[in-house]
């Protein structure tokens, strides 16, 4: 299971939100590159980088942060937030992202999502499946769509999607644990997909459970920044 720390960006700074609410913003570090280097020094190989400004603006904003991290570390970065156009996705890949996470556009413009899957391949395009009360959320989680999470994933499972980052928004940033039952259900329903857990991961024991039920990765954010999970503890999971 991949261990994937998260860096969320607002105004060029490393922040965390609670349940996706921008008003709950807490700044943890002024310089995201310093945080990325700290992760790399601990043996971390992967990074989930989220452009929260971009998600809200509906176009990519924080390319410089991506460029700095990719050029000055060896981290394998997946980037999400505000990727809505061919120019956005081209810029993100040109600035060094190994993968991109596409959520809102996958709901609003499935034809474009299918085009990108065909053009870039399923290894490079991650389906962002973010849900609240079983419904898919879009636009930086500011809007809840009418589409159910399982219907959404099922639709793309038949269109060559391989990677899915699934976030239960009600758990995100709350430090109360992730939706293990939901992930167990998704693993059973979609055995061939590669699921990455996001939202609420709080303890090392929980990571062991997620690995046992067959999750392919776990994104960890606030638990690291608040000291609930130490980078030293994570070394046991880093292959």
- pLDDT, one tens digit per residue, over 135-176 is 887 655 566 767 889 999 999 999 989 999 998 876 655 566
Q: What domains does the chain contain, in order, with CATH numbers?
A: 2-237 (3.20.20.70)
3-class DSSP assignment, residue 136: strand
State the catalytic residues.
8, 130
Is the distance from CB of 130 to CB of 103 less than 8 angstroms? yes
Task: For residues 10 and 216, give the distance between their C-alpha atoms in angstroms, rounded to a whole number.
Answer: 28
Q: Which of 24, 25, 14, 18 has the alpha carbon at shortest distance from 172? A: 18
The DSSP code for 84 is -
Helices (H), the chain: 32-41, 52-57, 63-72, 86-94, 104-108, 110-120, 149-157, 180-189, 204-212, 222-225, 231-234
Q: Report pLDDT digits (tens) over 95-136.
A: 999 999 998 899 889 999 999 999 999 999 999 998 877 788
The DSSP code for 96 is T
What's the sign of the alpha-carbon dihedral 132, 180, 1, 236?
positive
Is the distance from CB of 158 to CB of 168 less than 8 angstroms? no
Give the pairing type, strands 125-132 and 46-51.
unpaired
Which of left, alpha, beta for 173 (phi over 0: left; psi -120 to 50: alpha)?
left
Task: For residues 161 and 32, give the distance between their C-alpha atoms in angstroms, rounded to a whole number.
Answer: 30
Judged against a pLDDT cut of 70, whether residue 179 lies above it is answered with yes
End-to-end CA distance of the chain: 8
Q: What is this structure's pTM?
A: 0.92
Q: What pLDDT score was predicted for residue 139?
A: 59
Task: For residues 104 and 200, give the distance between their C-alpha atoms in angstroms, rounded to a whole number.
Answer: 21
Task: For residues 30 and 36, give the distance between their C-alpha atoms in angstroms, rounded to a whole number.
Answer: 12
Q: Report pLDDT digits (tens) over 21-66.
A: 777 889 999 999 999 999 999 999 999 999 999 988 999 999 999 9
The DSSP-derived string for 64-76 is HHHHHHHHHS--E
């Amino acid at each position: 299971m991949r261990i994937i720390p998260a860096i969320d960006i607002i105004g060029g700074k490393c922040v965390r939100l609670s349940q996706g609410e921008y008003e709950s913003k807490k700044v943890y570090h002024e310089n995201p590159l310093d945080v990325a280097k700290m992760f790399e020094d601990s043996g971390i190989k992967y990074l989930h980088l989220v452009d929260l400004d971009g998600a809200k603006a509906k176009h990519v904003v924080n390319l410089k942060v991506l460029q700095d991290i990719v050029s000055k570390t060896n981290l394998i970065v997946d980037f999400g937030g505000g990727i809505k156009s061919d120019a956005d996705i081209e810029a993100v890949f040109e600035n060094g992202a190994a993968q991109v996470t596409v959520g809102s556009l996958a709901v609003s413009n499935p034809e474009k999502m299918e085009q990108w899957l065909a053009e870039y391949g399923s290894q490079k395009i991650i389906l962002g499946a973010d849900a609240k009360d079983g419904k898919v959320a879009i636009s930086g989680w500011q809007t809840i769509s009418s589409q159910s999470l399982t219907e959404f994933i099922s639709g793309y499972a038949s269109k060559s999607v391989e990677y899915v980052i699934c976030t239960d928004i009600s758990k995100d940033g709350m430090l109360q644990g992730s939706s293990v039952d939901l992930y167990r259900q998704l693993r059973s329903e979609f055995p061939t997909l590669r699921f990455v857990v996001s939202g609420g991961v709080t303890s090392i024991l929980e990571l062991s459970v997620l690995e046992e039920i067959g999750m392919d990765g776990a994104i960890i954010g606030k638990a690291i920044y608040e000291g609930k999970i130490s980078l030293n503890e994570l070394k046991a999971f880093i292959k």
